[in-house]
Structure 1
Amino acid sequence: MINLNNIREQLQNENSNLSDLSKGLVRDFYLRLTNPNQLTKISMENWEKEFIFIYGDIDNNFSSNKKIKPTELAQTYSIDVSENELDVFSLFYSIQTYFSLFIRILSYKLLSDIKETDEKVTNENIHVFMDSILSGSYFERIGIKNYCYDDWFCWFLEDSDENMEHNVLELLRELDNYNTISEFKEFSIAHNNDNIKQMYEIIIPGQLRHALGEYYTPDWLATYTINNAVNIDKEINNNNRKTFLDPTCGSGTFIFKTIQILRSKNKNITLSEITSSVKGFDVNPIAVLTAKTNYIISIIDLINKDTVVYLPIYNYDVVNTPMLIDGNTLRIDLPQNIYDISLDLFEGNFDILTASMLEYASKDHNLESDYSKILNKLFSGTDEKIKSIIIYALVNRIEAYKQKKFDIVIGNPPWVNWEYLPKEYREKSQHLWIEYGIFGMKGRDLSFSKEDISVLITYAVIDKFLKDNGHLAFVIGQGLFKSAKNGIGFRRFEVGYEYYIGVKRVDDLSFVKPFENAINNTAVVFIQKNHKTVYPVPYYIWKKKSTKNSGLKTYADLDDILDKVNIKELIAFPSEENNELSSWISIPTNTEETIKNVLGSNDYRARTGVFTGGANAVYWLEVEDLLENGNVKVTNLIERAKRKVKKVHAEVERDLIYPIVKGSDISRWKVKSSSYLLCPHTSETKMIPIKEEIMEEKYPLTLNYLTQFKEDLDARKGFAGWEKEIQKENFHAILRVGEYTFSKYKVVWRYIASEFITAVMSTTDDEYLNEKQLMPNEKVMYISTENEKEAYYLCGMLSSHPIAFSVKSYMNPTSISTHVLEKLNIMSYDANDARHNTIASLCKEGHFVEKDSEKEKILMQINNIVADIYEIDEAQMQIIEDELSS
C-alpha cells in the first residue's frame, strides 16, 4: 500500500520529483486554459459560477489587497508571464483541476491492490485510464459507489495532448515508488491524521487559500469536539447507536475522526454500520471529493475484493436546500440554473428518481420512455457532457435532501460576515434569517451586516437535520458570545418562535489560537435541540501553560495538546440583567454576586480616536525643524503605512499639527508621543474640515501639501455611508473628529490590548509646537472631559481591580473597544463626594511616579475606596486579585 505520509513529505519538498511533476501538470493545465476548446470554455464558465457562489466576487478574492502575489505564483509553476499577464483565476482552476486528478489517482492506488485491479497503464491506454478514474467508472466497477463522477475538473479529457497525458503517466509511475506499507495495521498507525487535508494545503498555495478564507480544523480540535459531543449526548440520551452529520465537512477531518473514535470504542463495528452512521455534506465539490477520499482511508481495512460500499458524502448546501412545491415538484437551485423536477411519475419516490437520473446520465441509457421524456424536457438544449455533470449535482442534492435527521451534528461551519457573502447567496438565503428570528433587534439591515454565516448554518442545521433532543457541537467564532455588536441574533437560542435550543457548554480557545496563521478568536459550542438555555452556562477557558510557543501544533495528538494547556471552568451569562441577547460575561462561580454590583450603566461615552480613512502616509508626519517664520518643516511617514504614497519634504503652518498618541504609546498612567498628525479640522468645524477657501487664506502651505495628494485622498476606502458625501465635497477630510476630539482632558486606553490599562492625557509642551493638545489615533479609545478632577476620577475608577476584573469577564481577548464602557456601573463625578476626590488625587499622583512599585501602592489605595463604593468585602476582593493575577 502507498504511504501517504511519504507522499505528503515529498510534495512539500520543492526539489522532489513528485513536486516537479505536480507543478508541471499545473503549468500544462494553465497553458491549455489560455487557448481552450469550446467544451473547456463551457466547463470553466460553469466552474466560475460555482466559484462565485461559494467564495463571492472573484476580483475581490484575488486582488492584491488579499496579499496575492501574481509574479511569485507564476514562478512557483515556472509560468513565464509578467504580473499583469497572469490570470490568477485560471491558475486557481488549474491547481484545483490538478488536485482533483491527484486524489483520484491516490484513491486508485489505495484500492487497486485490495481489489486486485492494478492495471498496466501505458502511453497507449493512458487516456482510457484517465477517463475511468475521472468519470468514476473505475470506482463503480470495483464496488466503491458514489466516489466521483464527471465534474468541472474533467475538462482536460476532451482538451489534452500527448505531452499532458505523458505527464499524467509519469505521475502515476512516480506514485508507485511509495508502495512501502504491507499491512493494514501499519497503514492505520501511519495515517492517524488527515493527510489529504495536508496535501491540499501543500498543493493549493497558502496565499490563495487564505485569500479565500480557507482554514481547516486541526485534527486534535475535531477529536476534542466529537468526544465531548458524544459524552454530553450519552449523559442524556442512552441510545448507544448514534448517527453523525458534518454539514460543512470540508476535507472530512470531522468525518475521519468520528469514524476513528467509533471504531476505537467498538472493535466489531461493521462497514455498513459506519456508512449508515457517519455522513457529510459540503457545498464545495473539491471538498466533497477530498472528504470521500478520507472516508476510504478510514475504512480501508474493512474493504476486500468483493466489498461494495456507498460513500455517504454529498455535494449539498445546507442553507439553500431543495424546496417541495405544491407537494409534487422538487425545486433545486444550482449555481448554473434552477431545476423544477415533477415527482408525479416517480410516485414521490426519491430512490426511483435518482436511479432514473443516473441511468439517464449514462452514454447508452435504456430508460423507460415516460421517465426519459420528463428528463429530456428538463435538460433540453444542454450539451451531453455538461448534462451528465448537472445530473450528478442534482442527484447529490436529492440524496442529501432525503436523509433522516441525525443524533449528533458536528463540524466547523465557515465564518464569513454576511456583508462579505456572495450577493446571490445573500439574496437566496435572506428569508431564513427572518424565519429563524436571528436578525438583530436594532433593525434587520443593520444586523445582517454584523452577523456571520455560521449563525445561519447553525440554526438551519439544527432545524433541518438534528433530531429532537439531539446535540450539535460546532467550532465557531468566540465573538458570537462575547461581542456587543455581533451574535445578537445567535444569542436568542430560539429557532423561529417554535422551539428553544439549549447551550450546554462553551469552550473558549481565544488565548491558544488553534488555527495556524489565523487571528480569529475560537470557541466550541455544545447545543441540545428542544431545550432552553439555562444560565449560568458552563464556560471553559483554555490557556497555554507556557508562553514560549506562539501556537499549538495543528497535527499534534489531543493528549499532547491537553498536556500543554490549562482548562479552567467558569460560568457565563448575559452581561445585562434584563437582556438575554446581550454579550456574555464569564467569571468564576463564586463571584457572580460581586460582579453584579459593578455591572450596570453610566452617563459617560467612549469614542474612537482620529482616523485618516486609509491615508496615514499623508497625515502622519515627522517634524524636522522649527523655522524662523514660525512654520515647521515636515516629512510624511510612509514606512509603516499600508497604502504607500510619495515621500515629500514640505514647509507647513504649525497650527494644524498635533502630537499623535498611538495605542503603543499608552501604559498605565503614562502617555508619550513620537510623531505628529495633520488635522485640518477644528472644534468648531467638527466632522467637516476647514473649507478650502479658508485654508487658502489662513493655511496656504498646508493646503498646498494636501493638494499634491488629492488623487490618493480621493481614492480612500475608509469613508462609508453618509461620510462619503463629506469626502466628495472635502477631499482633505479625516474621520472620527468632533468637539470632543479637542477636549482638554481624555481618559485613554489601547484598542489592541489583552489588558485594560488606562491613563489621562491632556496637553504637552512640544519643542516645535509649544503647548499643544495630544491627539489620539484610531487605535486609542477615550472619554473626553474639560474637568481635570473628573478625568483623574474616571481613570482611577477604570484602573481599579473591581472594574478591571469586570472588563476582563466580557472583553475580547485582544481588543478593547468603546463598548467596554457601556456595561459598567460608574457614578458620574461628584465634586462633593470625598471618595471621588480622593480617587482623583491618588490617580493624578500615580501619573507622576515612575516606579511600578509606587504605582502599585497607589492603586491598592484606590482599590480600597472602590471596594467600598461597590460594597465588596475582603474575601471577594481577594478572589478578584487572584483572578487578575492568573
Structure 2
Amino acid sequence: MTLPGVDLTATDDYRSRLAARLSESDATVARVFEAWCAYVRDHHGAVFETPGIGNRDGDGDEDGGERVSTEFTTETKSSDPNTVPPHRLFLDTLTFAAVVDALHRQVEVTFGVTVDTPDDALDLRPVHEAVEVSLVDDDADLTRDSLAACDAEDLRRAYERTVPSTSRRVFGEYYTPPGLAELGVREAASRADGFDRGVVVDPGCGAGAFLTAAIRRKRRSARAESLGPAATLERLSTTVVGVDVNPVAVAAARTACLLALLPAMADASVDRVSIPVFLGDALGLADDTPTTGVEGRATALVGNPPWIPWERLPDVQKERLKAGPIDRLDLFDHRGAAARLGHANDDLSLPFVWTCLDRFLADGGVAAFVLKRDHVRGPAGRLVRSGRVGSRPLAVEHVHDFGSVDPFEGVGVAAALYVFRVGGSEEPDFPVPATVWEPRDGVANGTASTDAMDTADATDTANTASTVDTADMANTEGATDAVETTPTFESLSTLRTTLARTGTGLTPVDTDDPAGPWHRVDAETAPVGDCAYRIRHGLKDDAKAVFSVDDDLLSRIEPTHVYPYLRSKHVVKWGLFGHDRFLVPQRQAGEANADALGRETPKTYDYLESRRERLERRKSSWFDGGPFYSLFGLGPYTWAPYKVVWCRLGFNPHFAVVSTVDDAELGRKPVVPGDHCMFVACDDANEAHYLCALLNADPYQRCLRDLAGGKAGLSKSVVSSLHLPEWDEIRTQERLAALSRRAHEVVPAYVDRSKRAYNRLTIPELAEIQKEVDRTAARFLAER
C-alpha cells in the first residue's frame, strides 16, 4: 500500500537508525524516550513488559509492574511471546509518527497552507530531526488530486503496515472502520437538531475516523445549503472537535482531518487553517486535561471509547476516577465485595462515555458510541439502561447490534453502536429500536433489498429515511450483482450491501426493573424466568505461564496440587474433549497455607518461590492479603462433586456435566473449570444432569442464542435470566436427568477426532436422545 508523497520503504531504515540512536543514548532521543515512557505510565498504566491489553478476553496475562527500566537493550526475546518492552513500543510508535509527519508536511507544501493546532504536552518531533531519515518521497509525482484522494482509511493501512499487531494491541485502541464511523455519524445527524451547524465532539478520537466522517457529512450539507467557500471552511474547521490521549493518534487524526478539509480549503483559497484536535485526557484524570472551549455546548458526541480494563489503570487515575466522575455521576452501583469480585470485567469505556456525556453534551444532544454488545443485558451495562446521566435523563434511542460480525478485524469483541439522547422525557420508552446486522447468505441484491434497507431500520425516527445520504442510496438502488458474503466495513454503503439487517426492539426481561437485562422482543422467551442456582466463574488464570503444568514441570514437582483443568476447547455438548493440567496450590482464594505447602510439597513450594517476582507483579486487589501465589475464582464450589460447565465465550451454547477424570499421570482427580468457563456447582449427580439437559434442550438453546446473540458469549447475566428451578425430583426433572446421563455415555466414543469435526458430526443415537430431551423440556416448561 502507498501514501502519496511518502516513502514507506524507508520506515525500516528509520526504525533501525532510531534504535541505534536510542542504544547510543543520543541526548535528544533519550530525552524524548524518557518523557514518552513517563507519559505512557501516567496515562495508560501498566502496559510495559506485559501482553497487549487489546486481547481483552483472550488467554494473555494482564498483569505486570507499572515501573520499568527505560534503559535500551537490543535483547527482544521474552518468556512471553506477546511481551512488548518499552523501547520496542517506542520504536514502533515513533516510526508511524514519522509516516504521519511526512504526509502532513506534503499536504502543507503542496497546498501552500499552514496548519494551526493546539499546543501538546508531549512533542515527539525532535526525534524525527535527530534520526535524519526523511520519509518524504521527493521523487513522487505528487498532485493536489492524489493528496485529496487520500483519507483516514489509507492512514489505517499504513499504520497496520508499519506497526506490528502486538504493539497495536497494547493501548487498547483500534482503528474504527469507516463504515461503522459513517453509521454513527449518520445516526447522530438524523436525530440531533442543528447537527450540520452544531458542534460535534469525539472525546477519544483515535486516528479520526468519526471526525472525518462528520466533516464529510457537514461538507455535503454546506453544499446543499449553497454556503459560500469561506463560510463552509469556517464551519468545518471549528465545529468538529477531537480529543485523544495518544500523541500519535492525535497526529494521525489531525492529518486525517486536514485531508478531509482539502476540498473546502481549495474552494476557499486559504493559506492557513486551524484543526481543533487536542492531546489530553477527556476524562480529566490527568494533569494535562485540555480545555476545548466547547464543554457543555456539543450538539452531538460520537466515537469508540477506550476499552481499557480497570485493573490496568494507573493508581492515581483510579483514585481520581473514584473521587470525581464515579461519585458525581454515580457510575457504579456495585459496592463492597461486589465491586471487588462481581464485576471483574469492568473497563474504562462506560465511565469514559458517561463523563463525556456530562462534560460536553448540551441538553437535548445526541451521542453515538461503539460499546460492548453485552451492555444490553450484562451487570456493567446497568448504567446504560439506568436512564440517567448525573441529574439529567438519558434515553437509548437505537442499538445497532454487530454481535455476529467482527468490525475490528480479528479482535473478537462483540460490539454494538448505541445511540443516546440526553435530556427529554423522564420515562423510558420501550421497546428500544434495534437493528441486528448479520452476514448475508449470498442472495442477490436488488430493489427489494433496498426496500429492506429502509424497513430493517423501521424503528428509526421518521426523518431518518429522508436524511440517508444520496450517495449511499445510489450504491444500493437498482443493483443486480451478487451480494458479497464477506462483511465489509469500508463504507456505510459496503456495510449495507454485505450484511443483512433485521429490525427488532429491546425490552426489559423484568418489566418492573427497566435497568435490568433487556432482551429482543422477537426472542424465544418461554424459558426466561427465575434462576435458583448461583453461577460461578472458572479459576482465573492470570499467570498461566506459571500455573500451567506440562510434562516437564510435572516431573519436577509433586502431583498433589495439580488438577485436570478445562479450557474452552475442551467443552462440547454432553461431554469433554480432553483437559489440560493446572497447579492449584490453594483450596480457597486467599488461603494462608504457605507453611503447610512448604512442608508437605517442598518441590511445589520451591517452584512457586522461584516465580515469586513474576507472581507479585500482579496488580489486582484480588490478591491483597493472600500468599504471593494466590489464585482468584476459587472456593468450595470449585471442589463440588458435580459441575454443569460451559464456555462463557463460546458461540454455541454447549453444556456438559463434569466430575472427576482419570489422568494418566495424576490418577482420578476432580476437574477444575478454567478462566473461560462458567459453571453451576452441584452435590447431586441427578441434579447436575437435570440442569444440563434443560440447558441443552431446544427451547433453552434458542432462548440462549437470542439472549446472547452472535459472538457475545454465555455470560453469567445471560444464563441466570433463565427459568432454572431447584431440583425437586419431579417426574420431568428425573426424566431429563436420565436422558442427560445417556447422552454423556455416548460422547466418549467420538472424541477421536477434532472438536470442529465432532461439532459437524451427526450421531444417530445422540440425535434420538436430543429429540426426547427437547420434548421433555417442552413439557417441563408447560408445567410451570
Q: Determine if the TM-score, normalized by the shorter chain, exceeds 0.5.
A: yes
1:847 lines up with 2:744 in the alignment: yes
Give the Cα–Cα distance (whole angstroms) in 2 for the partners of residues 203 and 229 of structure 1: 33
Deviation at 1:676, TM superposition (A): 5.6
Asked if the contact 2:540/2:632 (under 8 Å) is kept, the reply is yes
SS in 2 for 1:273: helix
1:870 corresponding residue in structure 2? 781
Deviation at 1:549, TM superposition (A): 11
Counterpart mapping for 1:24-63 below 5 A: 26-27=18-19, 30=22, 34-36=25-27, 46-57=35-46, 59=48
1:478 lines up with 2:398 in the alignment: no
2:116 corresponding residue in structure 1? 145
Change beyond 3 A, Cα 1:217–1:656: closer
**How large is the Cα RMSD of the aligned pairs?**
4.4
Give the Cα–Cα distance (whole angstroms) in 2 for the partners of residues 64 and 785 of structure 1: 35
Deviation at 1:462, TM superposition (A): 2.1
SS in 1 for 2:41: helix
Asked if the contact 1:96/1:153 (under 8 Å) is kept, the reply is no
1:565 lines up with 2:499 in the alignment: yes
**Code of the aligned partner of 2:278:** Y
Counterpart mapping for 1:403-414 below 5 A: 405-414=297-306
**CA offsets 1:33-85 (integer angstroms, 9 cap, x no match):** x1316xx77655554443333322464568999999xxxxxxxxxx9934499
**CA offsets 1:413-451 (integer angstroms, 9 cap, x no match):** 211133322233333333111111212243595499754
SS in 1 for 2:26: coil
Counterpart mapping for 1:245-394 below 5 A: 245-267=201-223, 268-269=226-227, 270-304=232-266, 306-320=270-284, 334-335=287-288
Change beyond 3 A, Cα 1:804–1:290: same
2:309 corresponding residue in structure 1? 417
Counterpart mapping for 1:629-648 below 5 A: 636-637=550-551, 647=553
Counterpart mapping for 1:570-719 below 5 A: 570-585=504-519, 587=520, 589-591=521-523, 595=525, 598-609=527-538, 614=543, 620=549, 636-637=550-551, 647=553, 649=555, 661-673=566-578, 703=601, 705-712=603-610, 714=612, 715-716=614-615
Asked if the contact 1:658/1:773 (under 8 Å) is kept, the reply is yes
Deviation at 1:195, TM superposition (A): 2.4
Give the Cα–Cα distance (whole angstroms) in 2 for the partners of residues 310 and 439 of structure 1: 39
- Give the counterpart of 1:215 among 156, 174, 189: 174
Give the Cα–Cα distance (whole angstroms) in 1 for the partners of residues 265 and 415 of structure 2: 37
**CA offsets 1:617-649 (integer angstroms, 9 cap, x no match):** 7664xxxxxxxxxxxxxxx43xxxxxxxx5463
Asked if the contact 1:508/1:539 (under 8 Å) is kept, the reply is yes
- Give the counterpart of 1:108 among 83, 102, 105: 105
Give the Cα–Cα distance (whole angstroms) in 2 for the partners of residues 690 and 815 of structure 1: 36
**CA offsets 1:104-152 (integer angstroms, 9 cap, x no match):** 443332233433xxxxxxxxxxxxxxxxxxxxxxx55xxx433778962
1:232 corresponding residue in structure 2? 191
User: Which stretch shifts more, 766-775 or 751-760?
Assistant: 766-775
1:508 corresponding residue in structure 2? 401
Asked if the contact 1:789/1:837 (under 8 Å) is kept, the reply is yes
Deviation at 1:212, TM superposition (A): 2.2
2:15 corresponding residue in structure 1? 23
Asked if the contact 2:151/2:260 (under 8 Å) is kept, the reply is no
Asked if the contact 2:571/2:646 (under 8 Å) is kept, the reply is yes
- Give the counterpart of 1:795 among 685, 692, 699: 692
Asked if the contact 1:441/1:489 (under 8 Å) is kept, the reply is no
**Code of the aligned partner of 2:279:** N
1:191 lines up with 2:142 in the alignment: no
Give the Cα–Cα distance (whole angstroms) in 1 for the partners of residues 571 and 175 of structure 2: 36
Deviation at 1:808, TM superposition (A): 2.8
Give the Cα–Cα distance (whole angstroms) in 1 for the partners of residues 682 and 287 of structure 2: 58
SS in 2 for 1:296: helix
Asked if the contact 2:298/2:360 (under 8 Å) is kept, the reply is yes
**CA offsets 1:292-311 (integer angstroms, 9 cap, x no match):** 22222112233355444332
- Give the counterpart of 2:413 among 504, 507, 520: 520
1:81 lines up with 2:74 in the alignment: yes
Structure number with the bigger relative contact order (C-alpha 8 A, sep ≥ 6) is 2
Change beyond 3 A, Cα 1:658–1:153: closer
Asked if the contact 1:740/1:784 (under 8 Å) is kept, the reply is yes
SS in 2 for 1:844: helix
Give the Cα–Cα distance (whole angstroms) in 1 for the partners of residues 540 and 122 of structure 2: 48
Count how many residue pairs are aligned between Structure 1 and Structure 2: 696
User: Which stretch shifts more, 22-31 or 818-827?
Assistant: 22-31
Asked if the contact 1:405/1:464 (under 8 Å) is kept, the reply is no
1:876 corresponding residue in structure 2? none
**CA offsets 1:674-706 (integer angstroms, 9 cap, x no match):** 566676778xx998598966996xxx7xx3552
Give the Cα–Cα distance (whole angstroms) in 2 for the partners of residues 90 and 219 of structure 1: 31
**CA offsets 1:543-577 (integer angstroms, 9 cap, x no match):** 223699998556x3332333222222332233444
Deviation at 1:727, TM superposition (A): 3.1
**CA offsets 1:699-753 (integer angstroms, 9 cap, x no match):** x7xx35524523246454679657665535xx6x866555544444333323341
Change beyond 3 A, Cα 1:782–1:36: same
Deviation at 1:255, TM superposition (A): 1.6
**Code of the aligned partner of 1:211:** V
**Code of the aligned partner of 1:841:** A
1:541 corresponding residue in structure 2? 436
Stretches of structure 2 lacking an aligned partner (at least 5 in a row): 62-71, 443-482, 748-761
1:363 corresponding residue in structure 2? none
Give the Cα–Cα distance (whole angstroms) in 1 for the partners of residues 91 and 666 of structure 2: 59
Stretches of structure 1 lacking an aligned partner (at least 5 in a row): 69-78, 116-138, 322-332, 336-393, 621-635, 638-645, 874-886
Change beyond 3 A, Cα 1:426–1:549: farther
Deviation at 1:257, TM superposition (A): 1.9
Give the Cα–Cα distance (whole angstroms) in 1 for the partners of residues 53 and 330 of structure 2: 38
Give the Cα–Cα distance (whole angstroms) in 1 for the partners of residues 158 and 589 of structure 2: 55
1:492 lines up with 2:378 in the alignment: no
**Code of the aligned partner of 1:145:** D
Give the Cα–Cα distance (whole angstroms) in 2 for the partners of residues 58 and 679 of structure 1: 27
**CA offsets 1:764-784 (integer angstroms, 9 cap, x no match):** 677788776555445443333
Calculate percent identity across the aligned residue pairs.
20
1:861 corresponding residue in structure 2? 772
SS in 1 for 2:691: helix
1:828 corresponding residue in structure 2? 726
SS in 1 for 2:251: helix
SS in 1 for 2:653: coil
Asked if the contact 1:687/1:736 (under 8 Å) is kept, the reply is no
User: Which stretch shifts more, 716-725 or 784-793?
Assistant: 716-725
Give the Cα–Cα distance (whole angstroms) in 2 for the partners of residues 101 and 678 of structure 1: 47
2:458 corresponding residue in structure 1? none
Give the Cα–Cα distance (whole angstroms) in 1 for the partners of residues 582 and 39 of structure 2: 47
Give the Cα–Cα distance (whole angstroms) in 1 for the partners of residues 40 and 200 of structure 2: 28
Change beyond 3 A, Cα 1:868–1:90: closer
Deviation at 1:500, TM superposition (A): 0.7
Deviation at 1:525, TM superposition (A): 0.7
SS in 2 for 1:176: coil
The structure with more radius of gyration: 1
SS in 1 for 2:27: coil
